[in-house]
Structure 1
Amino acid sequence: MKNHLENALSSVIKDIAQCPYDVQITVADNSENKDGLREYLATYYPTVQYVDCGGNVGFGQGNTIGFKTIEARYY
C-alpha cells in the first residue's frame, strides 16, 4: 500500500509545486492495519496531514471523516 501512496504523493506534490494556489494534502487512513503510516508520512511527507479514521469505517465514512478535518473554502 505504501508504494501506491508514495507514487501518488510524489506525483501530486510535483504537480502542486507549479500551482498558484495554497494546497493541503490530507490522507485519511481508513484501515484496520496499523502499519506505521502516520510515522511514514511524518518522516517522508511532513506537509501531508494524516487523519486516522479509527479503522475500516467504509469508503464514504472515511471520506467524510477526512473532509471534516479540512479547513478550506474549496475541496
Structure 2
Amino acid sequence: MPSSPDIRTVGRFILSSTTRRTDCGRYAASLSIRSGRGEGTHDRVYRFIPLFPSSEAAAQYALDQGLGYLHQPALPA
C-alpha cells in the first residue's frame, strides 16, 4: 500500500512523493510534479528504479530528484 504523500511547493510546481513497500520488504519511490489549475493542470509522474531500506529514504530520494529536475536551466514547458 502506498504511503501518504510528502508534498512540497516550489514556485508554480507541486511535488508529491509517495512510497510503497515491495515484496522484498524494501521501498520504491515515485514522484508527481504538478503545475497549473483546473482544466489547465499538467501532472508528470515518475517511478524510480532504486529500492530503499526505509520509506523516508525513498521519499527523500524522490523529492531530491524532483528538485533537481526543477532546477534544470532548460526546463521543458
TM-score range, shorter chain: 0.3 to 0.5
Larger RCO (alpha carbons 8 Å, 6+ apart): 1
Counting helix residues as a fraction of each chain, which structure ranks higher?
A: 1
Counting strand residues as a fraction of each chain, which structure ranks higher?
A: 2
